[in-house]
């Protein structure tokens, strides 16, 4: 059965390996390029060293985001092209009636197919993401934004979980839909939809976020204020960045450290003042509350994400087994 | 060889509201070549897929060689199945298929497989997708036969073949069956084929079994009786009327004598297999139904 599975997927494996080899070559080139720029701008830096992160981001931000999105799309495509046709192609050609009447149970048939095709696919996809993780690590370290939605799912352990999920999603949808093209399309959409749901609604729930009061005086040492809005009713911090952490709040009303209100009059004072508004506000002893997931929760979040992906995969695989054991003619 | 090859009890399979097989109770004895005949859509494929364990019954039971179909690898090894349209892996070569058979079947007989390949002149290096219908059927038969099963099931093996390929396929089927100790069940809508190769018959129509038995017994027990109108109103016990046609002057009956003795009625004459089958199919379709083209050859 292992032989048959391999014989059936030989062509697609070679194709996939060729595409991935090209991707790996590009990532290696990028890794070399990144390290070259990093050496010039950071290690051997002489002037404007604090701007290095900006320069690097300008140069590599775009290809990096694209690579991340491509990797996600690649996982979806893996599910659609490897997972979905695994059963449907047999059903469409009618060859399941040949395979299922050999001296091998359907359970075993599916198990071997799953293990060989899924295993090979996950190893291939996983090695590319590990290569990517390594290639861009100097920039990731510098940017310190590991919770960024794309960065989070395309580095370290999460892509392995998602590779398994994409594959089993395709498998289960294929077993239920029984038609290759429909199953592929649904798999693509379902996987990308799942990504949005996980990032937007599920991931924030892994741990109770921390709420911390940051005084204006400390604001730019703890993290970085992205923007400040002052108006007649008071002031609001528009976005706040803490290195390595995942800041949940996006608009944080400013108040006095003792709890009293930062009024419109206070805001007027600061607008009229000659000093930058954040300096004026720290003189007035203003503060704001920020809700965030601390940086040291990264691995906890990664493994939770992997566990959820694997749990869903187990359910989907169970559905596929259930479907083929019931029999399809 | 006393266990029936296929035994069903009130076997029913529904697809949604549509009944593919209704209340089928059958005992097919071992050591026969059984023909399963009926028009398309009668439930032949459903019955055979149930026997092969590809699908599960909605209700009722089916046992093959005394066990639940496809219960485990051992049971699968005892039954060879050639599905309708003889599916093969288009991308795999003929030799790949034999290797597949060898790897997936513990009782694989490589000598038989190679011998059959030589007889049928199949090129081992050829991709199965490039074979003609007849060659593909031969490959599927080889695969099922070299598995050395106790029961071979064929679902419409010759339906898609031209007359020449059909003849040679049935020829090699019969040769092969004569050589080894195997029971065969094959479905067909061509009565002539069944008459040539089978010794046991099951007639299926409208999802129900109409009649089943040894072909010789069935033809001996079915009669056409022509007599003056009214003279045939009273028949001996155990004689069932399958079809009746009346003109103002005379009546024509087709009857099934289930007593096992000799029917002693004036005007009774034997009826051929084809006429018998058609009578049953006609009855199943309802009195107004026209005789099916495909069975009326």
Q: Average pLDDT, stretch B198-225? A: 91
Q: Which of B67, B89, B144 to mutate to test the interface with A (most CBs of A within 10 A)?
A: B89
CA distance A106 to B70: 9
Percent pLDDT > 70 in chain B is 96
Query: Which pair of tokens denotes residue A31?
Result: 């890794």
B25 versus B295: the higher-pLDDT residue is: B25
CA distance B207 to B17: 13
Closest Cα of chain B to A207: distance in Å? 46
User: Minimal CA–CA distance to A128: which of A246, A20, A11?
Assistant: A20
In this prediction, residue B290 carries a pLDDT of 46
| Helix/strand/coil for A34 | helix
In this prediction, residue B296 carries a pLDDT of 36
Contacts A326 to B, Cβ<8 Å:
55-56
pLDDT digit string, tens, across residues B36-74: 998 888 899 999 999 999 999 999 999 999 999 998 999
- In Å, what is the CA distance from A38 to each residue of A33, A125, A140, B95, B101? 8, 27, 12, 57, 58
pLDDT band at A171 (very low <50, low <70, confident <90, very high): very high
Contacts B90 to A, Cβ<8 Å:
93
pLDDT digit string, tens, across residues A87-141: 999 999 999 999 999 999 999 999 999 999 999 989 998 899 999 999 999 888 8
| pLDDT value at B297 more than 70 | no
Closest Cα of chain B to A28: distance in Å? 35
Query: Is the alpha carbon torsion for A104, A110, A115, A121 positive or negative?
Result: positive
pTM (two decimals): 0.87
| pLDDT value at A172 more than 90 | yes
| pLDDT value at B291 more than 60 | no
Return the DSSP state at A171.
H
| pLDDT value at B201 more than 60 | yes
User: A98: nearest CA in chain B?
Assistant: B87
Strand B208-214 with B222-228, pairing: unpaired
CA distance B6 to B25: 10
User: A120-142 as b/e, with b when 16 or more CB fall inside 10 Å?
Assistant: bbbebbbebbebbbebbebbbee
| Spatial contact of B289 and B209, defined as CB atoms under 8 Å apart | no
Contacts B88 to A, Cβ<8 Å:
95, 98
In this prediction, residue A62 carries a pLDDT of 87
In this prediction, residue B295 carries a pLDDT of 38
Minimum mean pLDDT among A54-68, B46-60, B84-98, B254-268: which range? Answer: B254-268
pLDDT band at B294 (very low <50, low <70, confident <90, very high): very low
| Furthest-apart CA atoms within chain A: distance in Å | 87
């Amino acid at each position: 059965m292992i032989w048959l599975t391999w014989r059936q997927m030989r062509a697609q494996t070679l194709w996939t390996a060729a595409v991935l080899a090209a991707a790996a070559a590009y990532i290696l080139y990028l890794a070399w390029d990144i390290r070259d720029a990093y050496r010039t701008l950071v290690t051997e830096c002489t002037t404007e060293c604090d701007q290095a992160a900006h320069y690097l981001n300008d140069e590599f931000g775009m290809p990096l985001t694209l690579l991340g999105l491509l990797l996600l799309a690649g996982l979806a495509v893996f599910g659609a092209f490897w997972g979905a046709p695994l059963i449907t192609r047999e059903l469409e050609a009618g060859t399941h009636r040949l395979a299922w009447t050999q001296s091998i149970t359907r359970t075993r048939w599916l198990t071997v197919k799953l293990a060989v095709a899924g295993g090979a696919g996950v190893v291939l996809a996983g090695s590319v993401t590990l290569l990517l993780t390594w290639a861009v690590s100097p920039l990731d370290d510098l940017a310190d934004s590991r919770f960024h939605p794309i960065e989070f799912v395309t580095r370290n352990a999460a892509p392995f979980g998602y590779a398994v999920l994409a594959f089993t999603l395709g498998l289960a949808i294929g077993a239920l839909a029984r038609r290759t093209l429909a199953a592929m399309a649904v798999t693509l959409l379902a996987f990308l939809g799942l990504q949005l749901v996980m990032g937007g609604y599920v991931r924030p729930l892994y741990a109770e976020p921390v709420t911390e009061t940051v005084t204006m005086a400390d604001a730019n040492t703890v993290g970085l204020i992205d923007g400040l809005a002052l108006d007649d009713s008071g002031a609001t911090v528009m976005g706040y960045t803490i290195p390595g952490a995942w800041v949940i709040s996006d608009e944080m009303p400013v108040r006095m450290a003792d709890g009293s209100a930062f009024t419109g009059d206070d805001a007027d004072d600061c607008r009229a003042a000659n000093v930058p508004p954040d300096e004026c506000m720290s003189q007035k002893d203003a503060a704001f509350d920020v809700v965030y997931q601390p940086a040291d929760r990264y691995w906890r979040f990664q493994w939770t994400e992997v566990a959820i992906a694997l749990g869903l995969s187990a359910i989907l695989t169970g559905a596929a087994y259930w479907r083929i054991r019931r029999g399809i003619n | 060889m006393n266990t029936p090859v296929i035994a069903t009890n009130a076997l029913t399979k529904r697809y949604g509201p549509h009944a593919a097989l209704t209340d089928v109770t059958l005992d097919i004895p071992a050591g026969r070549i059984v023909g399963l005949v009926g028009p398309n859509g009668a439930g032949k494929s459903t019955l055979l897929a149930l026997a092969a364990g590809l699908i599960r019954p909605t209700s009722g039971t089916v046992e093959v060689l005394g066990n639940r179909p496809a219960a485990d690898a051992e049971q699968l090894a005892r039954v060879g199945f050639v599905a309708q349209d003889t599916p093969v892996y288009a991308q795999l070569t003929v030799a790949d298929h034999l290797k597949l058979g060898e790897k997936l079947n513990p009782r694989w007989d490589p000598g038989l497989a190679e011998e059959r390949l030589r007889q049928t002149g199949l090129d081992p290096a050829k991709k199965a997708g490039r074979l003609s219908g007849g060659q593909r059927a031969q490959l599927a038969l080889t695969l099922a036969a070299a598995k050395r099963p106790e029961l071979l099931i064929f679902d419409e093996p010759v339906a898609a073949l031209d007359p020449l390929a059909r003849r040679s396929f049935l020829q090699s089927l019969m040769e092969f069956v004569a050589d080894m100790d195997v029971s065969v069940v094959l479905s067909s809508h061509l009565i002539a084929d069944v008459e040539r190769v089978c010794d046991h018959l099951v007639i299926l129509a409208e999802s129900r079994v109409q009649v089943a038995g040894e072909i010789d017994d069935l033809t001996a027990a079915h009669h056409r009786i022509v007599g003056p109108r009214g003279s045939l109103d009273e028949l001996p016990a155990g004689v069932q009327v399958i079809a009746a046609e009346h003109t103002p002057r005379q009546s024509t009956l087709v009857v099934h004598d289930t007593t096992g003795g000799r029917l002693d009625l004036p005007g009774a004459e034997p009826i051929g297999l084809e006429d018998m089958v058609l009578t049953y199919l006609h009855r199943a379709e309802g009195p107004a139904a026209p005789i099916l083209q495909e069975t009326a050859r």
